Amino acid sequence: MRTLVAFENITLDGCFADANGDIGWAHRESRDPDYDAFVADNAKGGGVVLLGRVTYELMAGWWPTEQAKHMDPVVADQMNTLRKVVFSRTLREPTWSNTTLVNGDIAATVRRMKQEPGPDMVILGSGSIVTQLAREGLIDEYQLVINPIILGGGKPLCEGVGAQLNLALKTSRTFANGNVFLSYAPAS
């Protein structure tokens, strides 16, 4: 069975985006070579990327650009070649390479995809998708990068899940830039 990972950058106050949906705080000017290598290695893992419309539009507007290819060539290459599934009721025609549009039941689609042969799947950003799939118990691993910033308001990750989800720590790692990577799986 295929697994589903949610990979999220979040703030110390638990937000995955500010009140306007901006995630610029996760991409600070000062570079950390160790963290950059971690991100590049993570991108090389392959798989299928699941996105909501807002995150899709943000990423589709960045990763195919020459600037993205210059600044982060490994991640840009992976993001542009990996298969992507965007869940949206309003998007009409995806324009980013290797993208499939799904406008039906998200949980039913992911449940079916998990049963099919193929590579594992990862959700990037897309807080509403994470919330819906967490509520259904479809996420196998939560990979969180805690960024050393407090927004004082924004969009909390998993708001509206509706029930307590107990998780068990699988691994952790700290970086010189202050980021902390935490990986959790649903507790048995």
Q: What local confidence, expressed as pLDDT, does residue 177 receive?
A: 92
H-assigned helices in the chain: 33-43, 53-60, 66-71, 73-81, 106-115, 127-135
Tell me the average pLDDT across 31-52. Answer: 85
Is the pLDDT at 188 greater than 80, yes or no?
A: no
Q: What is the pLDDT of residues 172-186, one digit of tens each?
A: 999 999 999 999 999
Domains and their CATH numbers in the chain: 4-186 (3.40.430.10)
CB 184 within 8 A of CB 167: yes
Q: What local confidence, expressed as pLDDT, does residue 72 receive?
A: 85
Cα distance between the two ends of the chain: 18
> What is the pLDDT confidence band of residue 63, given thresholds at 50, 70 and 90?
very high
Q: What local confidence, expressed as pLDDT, does residue 29 receive?
A: 66
> What is the pLDDT confidence band of residue 154, given thresholds at 50, 70 and 90?
very high
Distance CA(176)–CA(13), nearest Å, equals: 20
Is the pLDDT at 46 greater than 80, yes or no?
A: no
Annotate 115-132 with DSSP letters as a single string: HSSS--EEEES-HHHHHH
Q: What is the pLDDT of residues 73-83, one digit of tens each?
A: 888 999 999 99
Q: What is the pLDDT of residues 78-118, one digit of tens each?
A: 999 999 999 999 999 999 999 999 998 999 999 999 999 99
3-state SS assignment for residue 58: helix
